[in-house]
Amino acid sequence: MSNISIMTSGQDFINKSRDLFSVAGEFSAQAKSVSGEMEPVAYEKASEKFLPGGVTIQDTVEISMQGMDSLRTTREVESEELLIKSAKDSGELNAEHLTAMRNAIHSYYEGPSEDDKYGLKNRVSALMSAYEECYTNVLEAHKDGDREARYTIADKQSVSLEDDLEALDWAKEWCLDAIKGYGTAMASWEKAFMTSEKDRGHEVEGEEIDLDQVDEDLDEFLEKIRESLEEMKTSLQEEGNEKGIWKYFVQDVTQSDAFSAVSRFFH
């Protein structure tokens, strides 16, 4: 089988497809023999990315003639098949709810705080208060059915309650991942600091940090938050419950063993 060999740096990798299309266009002028049969055409583009110490990186990708035919076909797909159909496709619905969650969280931090502003209890309070606000706003927006919205890419849309709740759940998980990321980073930093101090012969207070255990503890902690949020959603759907019930569910989280296991890494 005839192959085309293409060499490019890691930095240029994302541009390979674009380059290949231009290469494909050259075949009609270069790849025919006297008999009219297609013959192998080698196209090579070599470049190097220099790293400290003189190290170079070079990637090689080989694409068959059939692969090139497939690329040309893909490029000619009808534009209608590539159009964004909804705000879910464009990612704008997720972005809308993430923005709302983050704004609500920041609004909480701007208010008075009884504890360490960025301590774990405050982080949980900010997240749960923001989720209550966003969830109730979604329910209100759909009290008469689907809501109408307009987006930059997807344009005018009719958004269902199901789609809004799915996007809100995505935003919630994004915020939970951010909490875990912070906790993991702080645990890693503290472990590195303790190791460095011990290597220098200094006494170090505190228990040895097992990062695998920290990861498990953080997962358990986040699962506790998820459970409390689900209970809060059920309560918010009941008549007579006013805004602010998130405070009761925060207590349930912050008094748990899961909270105690990871709180040292949030300060």
User: Are 146 and 176 part of one and the same domain?
Assistant: yes
User: Are 142 and 231 part of one and the same domain?
Assistant: yes
Decide which of 63, 82, 101 is a domain's last residue: 82
User: Are 131 and 200 part of one and the same domain?
Assistant: yes
Give the domain range for residue 73: 3-82
Counting as low any pLDDT under 70, the low residues of the chain are 1-65, 67-84, 112-116, 239-241
CA dist 260 and 221 (Å) reads 9
* pLDDT on residue 28: 36
* pLDDT on residue 4: 37
User: Are 166 and 189 part of one and the same domain?
Assistant: yes
User: Are 77 and 102 part of one and the same domain?
Assistant: no
Alpha-carbon distance values, 201 to 136, 191, 195, 208, 210 (Å): 56, 16, 10, 16, 21
User: Are 103 and 57 part of one and the same domain?
Assistant: no
**How many domains, the chain?**
2
User: Are 110 and 18 part of one and the same domain?
Assistant: no
The CA radius of gyration of the chain, in Å to the nearest whole number, is 28
CA dist 37 and 21 (Å) reads 21
DSSP code string of 46-93: ---EE-TTS-EE-EEEEEEHHHHHHHHHHHTS-GGGGS--SHHHHTHH
* pLDDT on residue 109: 84
Alpha-carbon distance values, 178 to 110, 238, 262 (Å): 19, 30, 14
List the beta bridge partners of residue 50: 56
**Angle (nearest 5°) at CA 163 between 161 and 166:** 110
User: Are 65 and 147 part of one and the same domain?
Assistant: no
Indicate whether this model's pTM tops 0.95.
no
Decide which of 25, 60, 82 is a domain's last residue: 82
Q: In this structure, are residues 86 and 47 in contact, taking their beta carbons and an 8 Å threshold? A: no
Alpha-carbon distance values, 7 to 57, 75, 128, 175, 217 (Å): 11, 22, 51, 40, 45
User: Are 121 and 37 part of one and the same domain?
Assistant: no
User: Are 76 and 93 part of one and the same domain?
Assistant: no
User: Are 175 and 235 part of one and the same domain?
Assistant: yes
Give how far the C-alpha of residue 100 lies from the chain's centroid of Cα atoms, to the nearest Å. Answer: 16
CA dist 236 and 156 (Å) reads 30
User: Are 73 and 97 part of one and the same domain?
Assistant: no
CA dist 51 and 104 (Å) reads 43
CA dist 80 and 127 (Å) reads 40
DSSP code string of 176-212: HHHHHHHHHHHHHHHHHHHHHHHHTT----SPPP-HH
Decide which of 82, 107, 136 is a domain's last residue: 82
* pLDDT on residue 113: 61
* pLDDT on residue 141: 93
